[in-house]
Chains A and B, each alone.
Chain A
Amino acid sequence: MPGTAVSSHAPRIRWHIVVFLAPAVLVYTAVMILPLFDTLRLALYDEVEGQRVFVGLENFRTLFGDPNWSRQFWNALANNFWFFLIHMAVQNPIGIALAAILSNPRLRFSGFYRSAIFIPTILSFVIVGFAWKLILSPIWGIAPGMLDAIGLKSLFAPWLGREETALTTLALISVWQFVGIPMMLIYAALLSIPDEILEAGECDGVTGFSAFWKIKLPLILPSIGIISILTFVANFNAFDLIYAAQGALAGPDFSSDILGTFLYRTFFGFQLQLGDPHMGSAIASAMFAVILIGVCLYLFGIQTRIRRYQL
């Protein structure tokens, strides 16, 4: 029988694959996977009289059932969606537009613009938060002065201190900081489009704007998809900017509270509020679930349907 001949030659274990994968797998497991599962586990415990006891889903019942907790959670989640929406509606279209302009071969100093727009991305959140707080400060800021110079002083308001505007302002600051990332990714995608395709389009009379809409945009759609999901994950994990600009209480009146700041307050405590690692882990698990659902929706709902073109 042919099968017996094969079984006597059992395939050798390819050790080199194991060896090459080991460092990444070990490091990733130690610093990412284990803590993740430990957090999920911690969410199922609580401390009763100094002892850590297993309480099942009790923490989640408190989080979603107790109005003191659920109100804060839904508020943070809603704020988080708004934060994400602003990024999708402002950051990504501007990023694509900038990339389209930069990839125009007739643009001069494009290298300079590219760097200038990308540089904020590598700045620390603390610097960005502090610098913008100063710029927008009603007392020392240059924003009121600049608006005054063009006669629009009346438009100025202490945006970061108003409930209606604080979160949107922070989202726009974050957009300013990170617009360089979609720009770079789209720029790279645009550069990879072969000239022959564009030239073939020109022969058929497709030039300028219509070339962008009809040829380039369909070709960069997969990149836009990736950028959207990266934005989603980054936004729902966001914390730094809000903490740097508004503090852990995410004022005014929790109007800029997002899941990250809510988690921080709960897990580590704040002022007289003592840290509660178990409730904190429950919130972290809820964040993980939100992100997981979002990513799955994208992977199975959108990613598989995007049409890809072989260039």
Chain B
Amino acid sequence: MTKRIFAGALLGSTLLTGIAQAQEVTLTIESWRNDDLSIWQDQIIPAFEAAHPDIKLDFTPSAPAEYNAVLNSKLDAGSAGDLITCRPFDASLALYDGGKLADLSDLDGMSNFSDVAKSGWSTDDGSATYCVPMASVIHGFIYNKDAFDELGLEEPATVDAFFAVLDAIKEDGGYIPMAMGTNDQWEAATMGYQNIGPNYWKGEEGRQALLSGEASLSDPEWVAPYEQLARWGEYLGDGFEAQTYPDSQNLFTLGRAAIYPAGSWEVSGFNTLADFEMGAFPPPVPNAGDECYISDHTDIGIGINAATEHPEAAKTFLDWVASPEFATLYANALPGFFPLSETPVEIEDPLAQEFASWRQECNSTIRSTYQILSRGTPNLENETWNASAQVIKGAETPSDAGARLQEGLASWYEPKP
């Protein structure tokens, strides 16, 4: 008899522990930010788990270049994690349309974001939002302050002043004027064309005109950035045709180049690598006194795998991601990634602060090729990479590049007025 009670007690206890374990949920996060692994593990996850002891998080990033392919395969196979880090625009929109991402429009935390911030992860008509915006990146130029002091140079405000600075550095000969290569192509397009372009096409105004069909890529305001890029070639290092993105980063952080056309995501990496003082200036405007525009590009969001077994726990996490607490944590753990929430966030890193300050002075826009325009074949984003690299190398004239891109776009895109 006692034996049976004991057995019953044993059975009961196993059942109880079983229930206790079932209440503790582990959420897996898919991401391409493998650089951020330690930040997630040491700062973000502990902060969340402290507030929500019943939810555990597992951050499992893959390599950036493979992320889209890997994620799509995993989603199709049903082995993807509960939370999906979202690329902006079409890659995520396709996932939402395919029923892979859950609709988050009625998530409480969504009210913390503006429509522009949500545009990267909303349907074309803005009726549904499927990812919580996490961060944007801002383009500009990072420069070596020591080199500028040594040569007596100032931050250039206009394009003419910019080339005067480049000429002065080139003449001195001690530094490569600008660190950029065309081997990887995207540098030329992202840090080149999309960096300086908004000043010419007037940010959102020009981008919307392109979407509505009022403007074309062969118009002067869209060709002008290529004309500036064509002049960059002579200021880049020897053999820039074979220079890769890591080469450019190293050239700058080793102090061999004076100016680096940058995205703000470089800030945290450069802070640890460079042993000189760095400054940053926004893309110079064509004429003194012109209104300035910056690319403040929605870059990272996070959404819920529609097939997750723990939708409630996932929503709890996303509500936390949408909160000012997460924004502050993320902005300071990863200087250079700027939160998109409307509550202002205190940023401590001086270089990141410099980038963020341009939001007050200049008008923000997103990269011109990202929303809607890269849906067809030929793919406008890929073509822009190619054209920017070709123009810098002098293998294609700016007007030819503009005409080629417009022809490719017009072959499939029907503007919706």
A residues sitting closer than 8 Å to B (CB atoms) are 50, 66, 68-69, 133, 136-140, 157-163, 246-249, 251-254, 268-275
Contacts and interface: CB of A to CB of B under 8 A. Distances in A.
Contacts of B393: 252
Contacts of B328: none
24 contacts: A50-B97, A133-B244, A137-B242, A137-B244, A138-B243, A139-B238, A139-B243, A139-B251, A140-B250, A161-B240, A161-B241, A161-B243, A247-B184, A251-B185, A252-B389, A252-B393, A253-B386, A253-B395, A268-B69, A269-B69, A270-B68, A271-B186, A272-B374, A275-B72
B215 to A, nearest CB: 20
Contacts of A274: 90-91, 94, 375
Contact of B242 (A138, A253, A254, A269): A138
A273 B90 CA distance: 9
A169 to B, nearest CB: 10
Contact of A158 (B91, B241, B377): B241
Contacts of A140: 247, 250
A270 B68 CA distance: 8
Nearest to A249: B185
A251 B381 CA distance: 15
B98 A50 contact: yes
Contacts of A133: 244
B77 interface: no
A283 to B, nearest CB: 13
Nearest to B94: A274
A272 B381 contact: yes
Given A163-B395, A251-B185, A272 B90 contact: yes
Max count, chain B CB within 10 A of own CB: residue among A133, A158, A271, A275: A271
Contacts of A251: 182-185, 386, 389
B243 A158 contact: yes
Interface string B181-225: 111111000000000000000000000000000000000000000
Contacts of A252: 182-183, 185, 241, 389-390, 393, 395
B91 A161 contact: no
Main secondary structure of the interface of A (DSSP, over half): loop
Max count, chain A CB within 10 A of own CB: residue among B98, B370, B379: B379
A161 B242 contact: yes
A249 B90 CA distance: 19
B237 interface: yes
A268 B381 CA distance: 16
Interface of B: 65, 68-69, 72, 89-91, 94, 97-98, 181-186, 237-244, 247, 250-251, 369-370, 374-375, 377-382, 385-386, 389-390, 393, 395, 408, 411
B244 A272 contact: no
Given A161-B242, A271-B186, A139 B69 contact: no
A253 B389 CA distance: 8
Nearest to A159: B242
Contacts of B238: 138-139
Given A273-B374, A274-B94, A157 B381 contact: no
Contact of B239 (A69, A138, A271, A273): A138
Contacts of A272: 89-91, 369-370, 374, 379-382
Contacts of B183: 160-161, 246, 251-252
Contacts of B247: 137, 139-140
Contacts of B244: 133, 137
Given A69-B377, A272-B374, A253 B68 contact: no
A162 B241 contact: yes
A276 B378 CA distance: 13
Given A161-B241, A272-B370, A247 B389 contact: no
A139 to B, nearest CB: 5
Of all A-B residue pairs in the complex, the 9 with the closest CB atoms, nearest first, are A138-B239, A161-B241, A161-B242, A158-B242, A158-B239, A268-B69, A272-B374, A272-B381, A273-B379
B374 A157 contact: no
Nearest to A169: B242
Nearest to B256: A139
A129 to B, nearest CB: 11
A178 to B, nearest CB: 23
Contacts of B89: 272
A291 B119 CA distance: 46
Contacts of B380: 272
A271 B381 contact: yes
Contacts of B91: 269, 272, 274
Max count, chain B CB within 10 A of own CB: residue among A69, A163, A273: A273
Contacts of A50: 97-98
Nearest to B238: A138
B395 A139 contact: no
Contacts of B65: 247-248
B239 A161 contact: yes
A253 B404 CA distance: 13
B254 to A, nearest CB: 10
Contacts of A268: 68-69, 72
B236 to A, nearest CB: 11
